[in-house]
Amino acid sequence: MILSTRRHEGSIAKADKDVVQAGILIEALSRRRSFELGEALALAEGRGQKWKSAIKIATTALDDRTYELLEKSRADFGMSA
């Protein structure tokens, strides 16, 4: 997801692909490893404000269902939005 926010304007197709791939991973991990997905999210956001901002921006590109799965994983790990 973070990578999608760092693509240049000429790489819109690649950024879209990054978001689709992230969505597939979120969906798969949320089914079997939701806690670990939440933990990975917490670790990434803990790397600093730039990472946290990039994640926040990238999540706006996710479809509603995938965003809800990500937020459920966040809650499973004990994080608030």
Question: Does 67 have pLDDT greater than 80?
Answer: yes
Question: Does 45 have pLDDT greater than 80?
Answer: yes
The predicted structure's pLDDT at residue 17: 86
Q: Which residue has the tokens 């926040």?
A: 56
* Conformational region of residue 16, where left means phi above 0, alpha means psi within -120 to 50, and beta covers everything else: alpha
Which tokens in the block code for residue 60?
Answer: 């706006």
Q: How far lies 12's CA from each of 40, 47, 69, 76, in Å?
A: 26, 26, 25, 32
**What percentage of the chain carries pLDDT values higher than 90?**
60
The predicted structure's pLDDT at residue 16: 83
Distance CA 1, CA 23 (A): 9
**What percentage of the chain carries pLDDT values higher than 70?**
85
Average pLDDT for residues 20-45, to the nearest whole number?
93
